[in-house]
């Protein structure tokens, strides 16, 4: 069999037949070399052919430039990578070649067309220039075999990579059923533009001014029946960022959810926690998820309507960035909670806040290895239940419901 000279056809044929493709440092070598140092690509099937690795191919990019052999082969080797990962390995290869050359970074559509062609699922594309002999082959087949046979000749010629076909073969090829892969069957060779769907959906998404969340669907009962229920926002609990606070991000979950106090780890890097609690008087069917944060720096204005409790040590600097920086005003809107050691009085600043701040105390922490250290920890759950009952009562008073948060507090 005469050797195929076109690099694209060589690569396509080798992939189909399972022939070896070896990057080498010379045309005569058969020793595999790194792609960054290779000068030739050696194909072993159907006959040994060495192609310069920087030779241009018939594949053209969206800018109209011919893509070289190295870029085509490298893209095929990394065909399973997504675009970001492919760009990363291509950049690494370009760095290894120290600027002597650079592989082409294929766009999504270019990769799609290239892979479907190399896999044999596509013959023609705007990105792939026809072989010089294809037009002559099509004309010769058209003169010998009328009708459908004349249409099949160019594709068959492109498949074989040789000159004109026997007219009888061209007629046989005309009845051939083309097979496709998932790319050609499901996606095609061009991305589909769905921007027109936005215009079609606009009448269904329009809301009447001042009509509330369901105003846009009031005229259409079918949409109203299919509309998904609004998701209830999660309530928020603010912890004190003070280093002296007994309850921090590192131990809040085990205390509020597990009912056991442990000392805080001040090295914790967590900025947000979630704890779950069944609030029976608001929603007896499912637990509510509470968000715990130490500060309101990432708050949107409407988040303040979801704050149900603020843990404090009594230090005024904690409230500097709050919606209400004055503690007396803050605790008119939000429940305050102070957690201290049993047997110690709360600070004077906390007592000055009055009844709007719930003062709780836990047994002092002792090393679990000491005798009797665990005997007093049963009171932790009692303190936790007191805190949750106060939070629940405050939420009911502020208007929390099974399916909605209050619009203001």
Q: What is the pLDDT of residue 256?
A: 93
On the question of a cis peptide bond just before residue 46, with omega within 30 degrees of 0, the verdict is: yes
Residues 6 or more apart whose Cβ sits within 8 Å of residue 311: 237, 238, 239, 240, 245, 247, 336, 337, 338, 339
Would you state the pLDDT for residue 206? Answer: 62
Note the pLDDT tens digit of each residue in 58-92: 999 888 889 999 999 999 999 888 888 888 888 88
What pairs with residue 125 in β-bridges? Answer: 128
Termini Cα distance of the chain: 85
| H/E segment holding residue 51 | strand 49-52
Contact 167, 149 (CB under 8 A): yes
| DSSP H/E element including 200 | helix 196-205
- Find out whether 104 and 91 touch, Cβ atoms under 8 Å: no
Copy the structure tokens of residue 220: 């259409």
Structure confidence by residue, pLDDT tens digits, 106-144: 888 888 888 888 888 777 788 888 887 665 544 444 444
Burial annotation 303-333 (CB, 10 A radius, 16+ → b, else e): ebbbbbbbbbbbbeebbeebbeeebeebbeb
Tell me, what DSSP letter sits at residue 186? Answer: I
Low-confidence ranges of the chain (pLDDT < 70): 1-4, 99-100, 133-171, 173-193, 206-230, 266-269, 371-373
DSSP string, 266-328: TT-----EEEEE--TTT-SSSPEEEEEES--TT--GGGGGGEEEEE--S-GGGGTTSSS-SHH
Q: Residues with Cβ < 8 Å from 361, sequence gap 6 or more?
A: 339, 340, 341, 342, 343, 344, 383
C-alpha span between 357 and 173 (Å, rounded): 87
Taking the alpha carbons of 93, 94, 97, 98 in that order, is the dihedral positive or negative?
A: negative
Cα–Cα dist 366/198, whole Å: 63
Nearest one of 13, 36, 113, 26 to 67, comparing CA atoms = 113
Position 56 scores a pLDDT of 92
List CB contacts of 89: < 8 A, sequence separation 6 or more. 78, 81
Residue count of the chain: 409
User: Domains of the chain, with CATH numbers?
Assistant: 7-118 (no CATH), 236-398 (3.40.50.11990)
Q: What is the pLDDT of residue 143?
A: 41
């Amino acid at each position: 069999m005469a050797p195929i000279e076109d690099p694209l056809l060589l690569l396509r044929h080798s992939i189909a037949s399972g022939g070896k493709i070896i990057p080498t440092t010379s045309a005569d070598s058969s020793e595999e070399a790194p792609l960054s140092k290779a000068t030739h690509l050696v194909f072993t099937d159907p006959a040994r052919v060495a192609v310069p690795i920087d030779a241009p191919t018939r594949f053209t990019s969206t800018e109209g430039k011919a893509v070289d052999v190295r870029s085509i082969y490298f893209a095929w080797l990394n065909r399973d990578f997504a675009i970001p990962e492919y760009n990363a390995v291509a950049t690494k290869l370009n760095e290894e070649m120290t600027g002597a050359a650079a592989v082409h970074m294929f766009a999504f559509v270019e990769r799609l067309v290239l892979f479907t062609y190399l896999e044999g699922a596509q013959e023609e594309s705007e990105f792939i220039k026809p072989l010089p002999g294809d037009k002559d082959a099509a004309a010769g087949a058209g003169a010998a075999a009328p009708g459908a046979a004349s249409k099949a000749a160019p594709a068959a010629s492109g498949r074989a990579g040789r000159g004109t076909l026997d007219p009888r073969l061209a007629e046989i090829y005309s009845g051939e059923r083309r097979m496709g892969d998932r790319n050609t069957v499901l996606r095609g060779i061009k991305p589909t533009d769905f921007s027109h769907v936005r215009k079609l959906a606009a009448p269904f998404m329009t809301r009447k001014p001042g009509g509330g969340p369901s105003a846009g669907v009031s005229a259409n009962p079918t949409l109203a029946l299919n509309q998904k229920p609004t998701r209830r926002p999660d309530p928020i609990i603010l912890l004190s960022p003070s280093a002296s606070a007994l309850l921090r991000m590192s131990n809040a979950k085990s205390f509020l959810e597990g009912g056991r106090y442990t000392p805080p780890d001040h090295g914790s890097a967590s900025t947000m926690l979630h704890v779950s609690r069944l609030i029976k008087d608001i929603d007896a069917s499912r637990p509510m998820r509470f968000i715990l944060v130490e500060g309101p720096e990432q708050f949107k204005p409407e988040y303040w309507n979801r704050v149900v409790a603020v843990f404090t040590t009594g230090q005024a600097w904690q409230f500097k960035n709050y919606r209400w920086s004055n503690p007396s005003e803050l605790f008119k809107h939000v429940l305050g909670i102070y957690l201290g050691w049993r047997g110690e009085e709360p600070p004077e600043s906390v007592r000055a806040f009055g009844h709007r701040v719930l003062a709780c105390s836990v047994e002092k922490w002792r090393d679990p290895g000491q005798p009797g250290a665990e005997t007093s920890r049963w009171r932790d759950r009692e303190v936790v239940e007191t805190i949750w009952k106060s939070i629940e009562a405050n939420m009911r008073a502020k208007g929390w419901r099974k399916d909605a948060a209050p619009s203001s507090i």
